[in-house]
Amino acid sequence: MSAALVDGDLVRGDVRIDGDTVAEVGLPPAAGGRIAAPGLVDLQVNGFAGVDLMTAEVEQMRALARALPPYGVTAFLPTLITAAAPDTERALDRLAEAFGPTQAPARPGEPGAHCLGVHLEGPYLSPRRLGTHPPEHRRDPDPEELAGWRRRADVVAVTLAPELPGALDMVTSLAADGVLVSLGHSDATASEAGLAFEAGARTVTHLFNAMSPMHHREPGLPGAALARPDVVVQLVLDGHHLAPEVVRVVWAAARGRVVLVTDATAAAGCPDGRFALGDVALDVREGAVRNRDGTLAGSALTLTAAVTNAVELGIDPAEALRAVTATPAALIGRDDVGVLRPGARADVTVFGDDLVLRETFVAGRLVG
């Protein structure tokens, strides 16, 4: 390794792993032109490698966790979209069993990515900005329902539309409990979004997609988020969700507070074909994931590909790597993932100078 991402900067030097921890950084550079970075952190994973988390059984969920490290991801948030309440409850129960305190996502010789909790993307979303979320299951904020879900599993992030009745009270309550509130699938005006940010919302789910548009006299949710230095914006860089010019504008406006996510479905890590997102049928062609109406429905993106795509658009490699390591980790209040420092768990990705992933270590064990 000729460089390492340490405290957000690429510095010359090698890294030494001792057992399951990082022992040293900044050692004399080794030959080979490699870049060591922390294990990648993905905050929006609906599915992967043929597994859909809304409908998966416990062992399938664990198989998904094992499938992520060969693509660089060593920590992730399982994400559940809008669904009927019994389906959400069943998925939460299975996630709690798969990744609870006695978490065992790996079989001998097959370490898996670490589950950081659960992200609920819905059902408290705008009827005008649902994207592929089933309209029959959308509803206004229900504090008792959400409290019940939080008792079933470790819900650490919730995406909601702030303009809905009762939404601001829910934002305030969740933020006070340390839950990350993300605004998304929303038709909010800039003023309505601003009220939610003041109430404690701290990020935006897949910026520009499934939300009010940005206009020069009504900047909507995107403009409100980009204008605030305390708000992190999340992007899906798969070549389908955002135009290159938009990505460059966002990065210029929000440098240091951009997080790359995949919004991955079961199609990620698989050839084109037919898949499902909950009870939504998906068709994947040329890497674009769409429902039967032709609406984008998540992605088939991997997080390493998102980094490559960002760099190809002119984003500095260190900034692109921060957007999939330290920045998402800090957003959900974790200082034990997304970092490369002595004493940290040895979740390490190794890239070539071309930013193609070469190896992944999970707790010091080589997995890909």
Q: What is the DSSP letter of 212?
A: P
Q: What share of residues in the chain are helix, strand, coil (percent, to 5)?
A: 25, 30, 45
* Helical (H) or strand (E) element with 319: helix 317-322
Residues 155-178: tens digit of each pLDDT: 999 999 999 999 999 999 999 999
Cα distance between residue 261 and residue 176, in whole Å: 25
Separation of alpha carbons 65 and 111, rounded Å = 8
Which residue reads 């904020």 in tokens? 141
Q: What pLDDT score does 368 carry?
A: 66
71 contacts 300 by C-beta, under 8 angstroms: no
What is the structure's pLDDT at 111? Answer: 86
By CB neighbour count within 10 A (0-12 exposed, 13-18 middle, 19+ buried), where does 48 fall? buried
C-alpha 132: how far from chain center = 18
CB contact set of 50 (below 8 Å; sequence gap of 6+): 266, 269, 270, 275
Q: Decide: residue 127, CB within 10 A, 0-12 exposed, 13-18 middle, 19+ buried.
A: middle
Residue 304 has what pLDDT?
Answer: 97
pTM, two decimals, is 0.96
The two three-digit tokens of residue 101, written as one number? 């305190």
pLDDT given at position 336: 94
Report yes or no: 265 and 290 within 8 Å, Cβ to Cβ: no
For residue 266, CA distances in Å to 11, 55, 155, 223 come to: 36, 11, 21, 32
Q: Which two tokens stand for residue 246?
A: 């938009």
187 given a catalytic annotation: no
Query: Which 3-state string (H, E, C) describes 96-119?
Result: HHHHCCCCCCCECCECCCEECCEE
Structure tokens at 282: 């998906």
Catalytic pick among 42, 187, 263, 347: 263
- pLDDT at position 29 is 72
Mean pLDDT per 10-residue segment, the chain (368 residues): 83 89 83 88 98 97 97 98 98 96 50 96 98 97 98 98 98 98 98 98 98 97 98 98 98 98 97 94 94 94 97 96 98 95 93 92 90
Specify the 3-state DSSP secondary structure of 190.
helix
The tens digit of pLDDT for each residue in 219-231 reads 999 999 999 999 9
Q: Quick one: pLDDT at residue 104? A: 44
Q: Exposed, middle or buried, 176 (CB in 10 Å: 0-12/13-18/19+)?
A: exposed
pLDDT of residue 88: 98
Q: What angle do CA 135, 141, 143 make, to 5 degrees?
A: 140
Question: Under DSSP, is residue 136 helix (H, G, I), strand (E, B) or coil?
Answer: helix
List of residues 6+ apart from 111 with CB closer than 8 A: 66, 69, 362, 363, 365, 367
Collapsed DSSP state (helix, strand, coil) of residue 204: strand
Q: How far apart are CA 327 and CA 343, in angstroms?
A: 20
Cα–Cα distance, 240 to 247 (Å, whole number)? 12
Q: Can you give the pLDDT at residue 80?
A: 98
The token pair that represents 130 in the structure block: 């649902």
DSSP 25-61: EEEPPPTT-EEEEEPEEEEEESEETTEETTT--HHHH
| Alpha carbon distances (Å) from 216 to 75, 84, 211, 223 | 38, 38, 16, 9
Domains and CATH numbers, the chain: 1-38+338-368 (2.30.40.10), 40-335 (3.20.20.140)
Residue 349 buriedness (CB in 10 A; 0-12 / 13-18 / 19+):
buried
